[in-house]
Amino acid sequence: MKNADTADCEPPRARKLKTESDNCLAIAIRERDSEVAALLIDEAAKLARRSRELANKD
């Protein structure tokens, strides 16, 4: 897990995608329809993966 100092070094787009991923998960856990929740979780995983890719670019 990154600390506050390394989070400041992340590209803005990576931070934005991470926030969107967190938002998808927050919505998914409140969703009553399991199919919709599954789609939101899948989307969150994609966003988190892309965020990590951008954050790890040299």
- Residue span of the structural domain in which 29 resides: 10-55
Collapse the DSSP code of 6 into the 3-class scheme (helix H, G, I; strand E, B; otherwise coil) and give the result.
Answer: helix
In the chain, DSSP finds a helix count (H) and a strand count (E) of 3, 0
Mean per-residue pLDDT, 25-41: 98
Residues whose CB is less than 8 angstroms from the CB of residue 52 and which lie 6 or more positions away in sequence, other chains included: 14
> With a threshold of 0.85, does the pTM exceed it?
no
Mean pLDDT of the chain: 90
What's the rounded Cα separation, in Å, for the pair 17 and 19? Answer: 5
Mean per-residue pLDDT, 20-40: 98
Number of domains in the chain: 1
Has residue 47 been placed in a domain?
Answer: yes
Closest-CA residue to 55 (of 3, 1, 15, 4): 15
Has residue 30 been placed in a domain?
Answer: yes
Has residue 5 been placed in a domain?
Answer: no
Has residue 4 been placed in a domain?
Answer: no
pLDDT band at 14 (very low <50, low <70, confident <90, very high): very high
pLDDT band at 6 (very low <50, low <70, confident <90, very high): low
- What pLDDT score does 58 carry? 54
